[in-house]
Chains A and B, each alone.
Chain A
């Protein structure tokens, strides 16, 4: 799992429900990020964190919240799910923000009905 554990692997939500996608890494890496992957498009950055207590928005942050209370965990929260959030979500870690090489979790396939 490249040192990144994502849960759940699959999830179906009803419109308006909330949920948290979990992401944990065991490499003590500073940089973690969440992406969404949609058909025919490249991965799009939702939020990222350069260390515990520090988060920032990516390209498509609307509808998502994150927090980074520890180095290990970087959960992604959907407060009120919408069908437009149907996607595959990936969490990734990098040693630091300067590094390019990223290690990805297995992904979460989310369907909002």
Chain B
């Protein structure tokens, strides 16, 4: 079983829909990281969080440490949000290395 699981693997939605991507992990962590990978391949950081909630524009990330679960929400989705969204956790158990989810491929149709 992977230590970081993302769901769904693939998500297609219409423009304007509210999007939720989930990340569950099984290790002790010091922080969780959401990243975005565009079709061109580049990876950019969206959020780092260790508790609570963070918001940036239309993106909201939440984390529940007790439940070992995080969600990434996108409000008023737009075709330019189409990308792969990746969850990574900083593990306390593995010398603070990053453990990566496999990613969620999001397609927003106009």
Which residues in A have some Cβ–Cβ distance to B below 8 Å?
A: 2, 35, 40-45, 48, 58, 88, 90, 97-98, 100-104, 106-107, 109
B98/A102 in contact, CB under 8 A:
yes
Shortest Cβ gap from B15 to chain A (Å) = 27
Nearest-CB residue, chain B, relative to A56? B95
Interface magnitude class on chain B: 20 to 34
Per DSSP, chain B at the interface is: strand
B97/A58 in contact, CB under 8 A:
yes
Per DSSP, chain A at the interface is: loop
Q: Per-residue CB proximity of B23-53 to A under 8 Å, as 1/0?
A: 0000000110100000011111100100000
> Tally of A-B residue pairs with Cβ under 8 A?
51
Report the Cα distance A100→B45, complex, angstroms: 10
Contact of B101 among A42, A48, A90 (CB under 8 A): A42
B41/A107 in contact, CB under 8 A:
yes
Q: A42-B102, A100-B33 are in contact. Are A106 and B96 (CB under 8 A)?
A: no
A100/B97 in contact, CB under 8 A:
no
Report the Cα distance A102→B26, complex, angstroms: 22
B86/A104 in contact, CB under 8 A:
no
Residues of A contacting B72 with CB < 8 Å? none
Residues of B contacting A43 with CB < 8 Å? 86, 88, 98, 100
Report the Cα distance A100→B32, complex, angstroms: 8
